[in-house]
Structure 1
Amino acid sequence: MTQTKPPRIGPDDLREREPARPRRSLPRAGARGAIGAMAMSGLRQLTTSAGLVAKVPPESVLERVVPRAVRRVPRHQRPAVVELVHWSYGAFGGVLFGLLPGAVRVRPWAGPIYGAAFWAVFEAAIAPALGLPRHSRTTAERLSLLADHVVYGIVVGASPWPQQDKFPEET
């Protein structure tokens, strides 16, 4: 009498598989990221005008990473270049948010936490790797930068098209 072995069950079999993402969800997530970066720009205009933030991180990054390219841009056009780079970075962050599992993205806290985490990663890893000065930041400046990243996360997480980013089984 021969016994057949039961099929092996791996970790992938134990958890529920997420269905394929709708094709339009990642471009929409990128758009939300760009819009979130634009909202941040508005808040940054306020905080820099009020003297709470000395120099915005995108400007510092560009000056550190591509100083020759920055110097080639006429001085009056540099703010526009900084904004375009910031919006592009925001779009990339939106796509990363869009890649999170749907069960995470739909939580009301996911966007604000994502925005704060995005800032924390910049502060803890990217800024030191680029050699950007961080020690001179005041508490008010740090709180201002955290606040604008939370605003970014709120925008990224609060989809204007939430029903269209859901998987077919969720609608």
Structure 2
Amino acid sequence: MAMSGFRQVTTGLGLVERVPPEEVLRKTAPGLFRRIPVDRRQALVELLHWAYGAGGGMLFGVLPRRLRRQPWTGPVYGFAFWAVFEAGIAPLLGVDQRRHGGREPLALLADHLLYGVVVAASPWLHAD
């Protein structure tokens, strides 16, 4: 959810035109996306992104404890999530990656670095 707030800032400033979860929905489920009323689409995009983020948080939770406790692990994990999408998932799905020069990828990278920091800071990951 921290990413959601950050994403509101980057889209509001014009750094990001259309967020990746929306691009994925438009590409993989265009019929579903068109059937959703325009005023509800943002909620669908947000829920999809939260589900993806929750799955990523669970994946982070299965990393070895000694690795999860390192201060650099969260940002590296966020970077890895971003890189896997950019280099693997987006091309596989045919998601348009032509973006606003270097601004949009950097804004999305910052978004995912924040995600990694927040996921790594979760107290349940460090409890015995």
Coarse TM-score class (shorter-chain normalised): over 0.9
Equivalent residue, structure 2, for 1:110: 73
**d(CA) in 2 for partners of 1:147 and 1:157?**
15
Equivalent residue, structure 1, for 2:26: 63
Q: Which structure 1 residue ranges, 5 or more long, are not aligned?
A: 1-37, 167-171
| Secondary structure of residue in 1 paired with 2:123 | coil
Q: Which structure 2 residue ranges, 5 or more long, are not aligned?
A: none
Equivalent residue, structure 1, for 2:102: 139
Equivalent residue, structure 2, for 1:44: 7
- Alignment check: 8 A CA contact 2:21 2:48 kept: yes
Displacement after TM superposition at 1:161 (Å)? 3.4
**d(CA) in 2 for partners of 1:161 and 1:97?**
11
**d(CA) in 2 for partners of 1:71 and 1:126?**
22
Equivalent residue, structure 2, for 1:88: 51
RMSD: 1.1
Displacement after TM superposition at 1:162 (Å)? 4.8
**d(CA) in 2 for partners of 1:137 and 1:91?**
28
Displacement after TM superposition at 1:140 (Å)? 1.1
**d(CA) in 2 for partners of 1:120 and 1:158?**
21
Calculate the TM-score normalised by the size of structure 2: 0.95
Structure with greater proportional helix content: 2
Once the two structures are superposed, residues 69-110 of structure 1 have per-residue CA deviations (whole angstroms, 9 ceiling, x without a partner) of 111111100000100010000000001111111111110110
- Structure of greater Rg: 1
Displacement after TM superposition at 1:136 (Å)? 3.1
Displacement after TM superposition at 1:163 (Å)? 4.5
Equivalent residue, structure 1, for 2:121: 158
**d(CA) in 2 for partners of 1:40 and 1:71?**
25
